Amino acid sequence: MRLSSAFLDPDAIAALHQATGVMFRSQYFYDVCMTARTDNGTLMAVAVGERKSPHDIHLSVLVLDPRAITRRVLRKLFTALFAKSTRVTVLIDPDNMEAIDRIRRMSFTYEGFLRLGLDGRRDACIYGMLKGECPWIGGHHMPRQIPLPLSVARH
C-alpha cells in the first residue's frame, strides 16, 4: 500500500464526489489530503481535511477497501489533522449507517443534527473529535456523549 498526501488526483476527486455529492477541486490545496493506493495504483481510500475556522477542520473520507484503514494510516492522518486544528468535524448523511458506524468506531462523538447541512438538500449528523480525545495520537479521554436523534438511533 502506498500513502500520499499530495493534491487530489482526478480519480480520487471523482470517487469522493460520487460518494458524498460534494464537489472537490483538482489542483486545490486542502489543509490535509491523503490517499491510500494498492501497489498497482488502485484507489483504496481518500481523506480530505478542509479548514472551516482557525480551530476546526472538516474531514471527508471515502473508504473503498477497508484494508487501507490501518493504525499507521490513522496515526498519520490524525497527526496531520491535529497539527493544524484543535477539533475535527465530520458531517454524515443520517441514512449512511455504515459511515456512522465506522466514524463512531474511530472515536468520534455524535454532536448534533444539521438540517440540510450536507449540500443544501440533505440533512447531516455532526460528529466531532477533539485533539485530547484522539486515540490515534496518544491523547484519549472520554468525551461527554450526546444522545442520538431518534432517526439515527432507530437504525
Strands 87-92 and 56-63 come out as: parallel
Give, in words, the CATH class of 2-153: alpha beta
For 102-151, the pLDDT digits (tens) are 899 889 999 999 999 887 888 999 999 999 999 988 755 555 555 555 55
The size of the chain, in residues, is 155
Contact 22, 120 (CB under 8 A): no
Question: Could you state, in order of their start, the residue ranges of all structural domains in the chain?
Answer: 2-153
- The greatest distance separating any two alpha carbons of the chain, rounded to the nearest whole angstrom, comes to 44
Average the pLDDT over 59-85 and give the result. 91
Q: Quote the percentage of the chain above a pLDDT of 90.
A: 46
Instruction: Report the Cα 119 to chain-centroid distance in Å.
Output: 16
The Cα 16–Cα 23 span in angstroms is 8
**Bridge partners, 35 (sequence order):** 4, 46
Q: What is the dihedral of CA 39, 57, 149, 117, to 10 degrees?
A: -100
